[in-house]
Amino acid sequence: MSTEPRGWRKSSRSAQQTSCVEVGRVADGAAVRDTKDRAAGYFTATTGQWSAFVGAVKSGRFDG
């Protein structure tokens, strides 16, 4: 993926939390960055990778 992310938005799960992330769109998937340290950069995931991650979060796979 070589395009710059666009349409950054803060995660709805980050409201009033200290651990905030933003998600942006890239041509072939998604980009994620730390809201408080945007200069640190971002990582990207393909559409398939992002869908698998979101599905795992929604199913509670990463819950404590």
Distance from C-alpha of 46 to C-alpha of 64, rounded to nearest angstrom: 26
Nearest alpha carbon to residue 33 among 5, 1, 12 = 5
Whole-model pTM: value is 0.75
Task: Share the mean pLDDT of the chain.
Answer: 88
Distance from C-alpha of 64 to C-alpha of 55, rounded to nearest angstrom: 17
DSSP state of 14: G
Contact 23, 15 (CB under 8 A): no
Does the pLDDT of residue 60 top 90, yes or no?
yes
For residue 35, name the pLDDT band (cuts at 50, 70, 90): confident
pLDDT in tens, 12-30: 766 666 678 899 999 999 9
Q: What is the mean pLDDT of residues 32-42?
A: 91
pLDDT value at position 19? 72
